[in-house]
Amino acid sequence: DTSHLDAPLAQRIFEVEVPHPVGLHSMSTVDYHRRITAVFQFSDSVVQITASPLSNLRRCGYGLWSRCICRPTSTRVATVDLLSGVALFFDMWVIPYILAWESEASRLPFRVSLMATVVWWTLNIVVSFFTGIYIHGELVMQPEYVASHYLRQYFAVDLVMAVCDWTSLIATLLDEDDHPSFLTNFPRLLK
């Protein structure tokens, strides 16, 4: 759809002769790209990006997603990493303590801390979709590349760990005994 092209506005901004937008609907894709390139003086790759099917996504939410991507060296990401370290410390020390000495996992502090870490690791999956990445030393902030990289590299491992956490938490909450059984502890052990 080329109805968004305003020939007089483009002439004033770019000081170029703009073809009249009438008739652009019947034009071939190659001619359309040539005219757009001539008007806005873009490279071919930029024209392909703006004319791609993602242009509809950019209009309805994709732009918001791309603005929410954080640099991997930002303070926000450092804070998330610090909190992940705290959750990891808890998982490394408290959960083995509960498993080894069959401590009462039904106590309120244990239950609250278990719930907090399970929710944290689940939210961390979502945060990973909003954190930029470095590929071959270059910062990549495009959401589709960030999501694709995360899905291919770490998502499966994070998802398995989150499912184990949720299974363990639900089994612990549903267990009637004060001492967790082997079935209750197995997802934690698997993690």
Domain boundaries, the chain: 7-52, 75-190
* Cα–Cα distance measured from residue 135 to residue 187, given in angstroms and rounded to the nearest whole number: 34
Q: Which carries the bigger pLDDT value, residue 183 or residue 88?
A: 88
The pLDDT-based confidence of 25 (bands split at 50, 70, 90) is: low
Token pair 């901004």: residue: 13
| CB-CB contact of 114 with 106 (8 Å) | no
The pLDDT value recorded for residue 57 is 52
Give the pLDDT of residue 28. 62
Reading the block at residue 191, the tokens are 């993690």
| pLDDT at 10 (0 to 100) | 47
SS3 23: coil
Q: What is the pLDDT of residue 50?
A: 47
The answer to whether 132 and 139 have CB atoms below 8 angstroms apart is yes
Residue 122 has what pLDDT?
A: 95
Beta bridge partners of 133: 140
Task: Give the CB-side neighbour count of residue 35, counting CA atoms within 13 A.
Answer: 18
Residues above pLDDT 70, as percent of the chain: 54
Confidence of residue 58 (pLDDT cuts 50, 70, 90): low
C-alpha dist (Å) from residue 35 to 10, 17, 31, 40, 54 = 12, 11, 6, 9, 20
C-alpha span between 88 and 94 (Å, rounded): 10
Q: Which long-range contacts (CB under 8 A, 24 or more apart) does 147-154 make?
A: 154/128
In this prediction, residues 163-172 reach a mean pLDDT of 85
Q: What is the pLDDT of residues 96-134, one digit of tens each?
A: 877 777 666 567 777 788 889 999 999 999 999 999 999
181 contacts 175 by C-beta, under 8 angstroms: yes
Comparing CA positions, the residue from 165, 179, 167, 181 lying closest to residue 90 is: 165
Mean predicted confidence (pLDDT) in 26-41? 59
Name the one residue in this structure whose structure tokens are 């278990």: 114
Burial of 89 (0-12, 13-18, 19+ CB in 10 A): exposed
Element (H, E) at 38: helix 29-40
Greater pLDDT, 170 or 53:
170
The model carries a pTM of 0.58
